Amino acid sequence: MWDGDVVVDADSHILEPPDLWLSYIDPRFREDCLHVERDPQIGDQLVMHGRRSALIPRLGGVAWSPDQPVRDWNTLPPRGSSGFASYQESVTPDAWNGAQRLAWMDRHGIDVSFVFPSLGLIWPREVDIRTPYARAHFAAYNRWIQDFASVDRHRLVPVAQLAHAPGGADKEQVRGLADDGFRDVMFPVGTSLTDELDPFFGAAQECGIRVHLHKVAIPHNLPCASPTSLAAPGADPFVNHVHETLPGQTMLTALVGSGVCDRFPAVRFSWHECNAGWLPAWLDRATESWEITCGRSRMQQPPAHYLLERDTLFFSIGLSESLANMPADLDARLLLATDHPHPGAPESPQQEWEATLAGVEIGRRRALLGGNAVRMAQLGTEAQT
């Protein structure tokens, strides 16, 4: 804690260990499951169904050292005869060890971390998500992340994954996660937002499950080839990187406009790595659209009601995101996040957070550091259950 304030990291990550699926998956799928193959010449490879991932070019490459920042493995220059370090050698000690993660949090004054997958945000794009094969991998991940967080479930909050199951089966999936102790789940993979998801939202409301929408895994509800990506083949990396955040905006519009927030008013949603500086402009446009389409929309209230008056929509912001132009009435919606241990995550979250919060009055500071997250997650009320 910093000066007595509760500090919550709303978006941290693990890096899945090489043997996660081999060790945790249903034995029926073990022979053909996801795994990491050692390749010092081009870098270790994620393999699925006997083929290498097309979206994850390299795992590892440079041996981790406390004296250097985490490198982006995909942009490393050729290593020549020395080859690339293994995936196992390249990750930070806390990447897949819960006790080490707590030690890292202690060093940086972080009380609670919400923990998301890394490879799990990407590999589902490369398989048929409707198959038992894919569902078995999500189940394996959920078992593993429970073990990761078991060292202290008050401080490590695991976020589960699941694939959409049509015909109302989502309800049983959510109830199963709740029975296993989960209180957080990512938006179901393999679907866009339709009334078919009402059983999912109904079970989330019934079980007190929070729903998280994370960049690169958010369905965008647009008529594009991929339900989770606006990237165009051959486009400049800058263009595709910017587009990664747009599904967050389309999903906010869809959730409010489709009436989900009215039918399931207790479900809490959090957006991650989508930034939040666009919220004021979105609210202006959404208000104009509401006035034009009022009476023809499924929304029961104007957009400001959902964003400002209800306490159910939250948005994490990166450590370098400025608060200078953020209206005070949106403060209650914001959560701070590190993105640790991904490339580009700061070596000292406290130092960067202090720069973001410089000059911020004490009440606003406390809300951003952790007060909003505590309220969103009802930390302290359910931690005893």
In 108-259, alpha helices (H): 132-149, 169-179, 198-207, 237-243, 246-257
Q: What angle do CA 100, 105, 106 make, to 5 degrees?
A: 95
Assess if residue 78 is contained within a domain. Answer: no
Assess if residue 66 is contained within a domain. Answer: no
pLDDT at 188: 93
pLDDT at 45: 97
Exposed, middle or buried by CB within 10 Å (0-12, 13-18, 19+), for 164?
A: buried
Assess if residue 295 is contained within a domain. Answer: yes
Long-range contact pairs involving 350-359 (C-beta distance under 8 Å, separation at least 24): 350/2, 350/108, 350/109, 352/319, 352/320, 353/319, 356/319, 356/320, 356/321, 356/322, 356/323, 357/323
> Residue 160 sits in a domain of what CATH number?
3.20.20.140
pLDDT at 153: 95
pLDDT at 357: 85
pLDDT at 354: 85
pLDDT at 273 over 90: yes
The pair of structure tokens assigned to 312 is: 């159910």
pLDDT at 385 over 80: no
User: Residue 27 CB: number of other CB atoms within 10 A?
Assistant: 8
Assess if residue 81 is contained within a domain. Answer: no
Q: What is the mean pLDDT of the chain?
A: 92
Q: Give the structural domain span for 336.
A: 8-27+92-377
CA atoms within 13 A on the CB side of 101: 29
261 touches 302 (CB < 8 A): no
Q: What is the pLDDT of residues 29-49, one digit of tens each?
A: 999 999 999 999 999 999 998
Task: State the total domains in the chain.
Answer: 1
Assess if residue 217 is contained within a domain. Answer: yes
Assess if residue 367 is contained within a domain. Answer: yes
What percent of the chain stands above pLDDT 90? 71
Q: What is the pLDDT of residues 200-233, one digit of tens each?
A: 999 999 999 999 999 999 988 888 878 888 888 8
pLDDT at 197: 93
Average pLDDT over every residue of 196-202: 94
Assess if residue 210 is contained within a domain. Answer: yes
Least confident of 2-6, 70-74, 139-143, 159-163: 2-6
Assess if residue 220 is contained within a domain. Answer: yes
How far is 317 from 310, CA to CA, in rounded Å? Answer: 20
The pair of structure tokens assigned to 28 is: 């029926």
Q: What is the pLDDT of residues 88-130, one digit of tens each?
A: 999 999 999 999 999 999 999 999 999 999 999 999 999 999 8
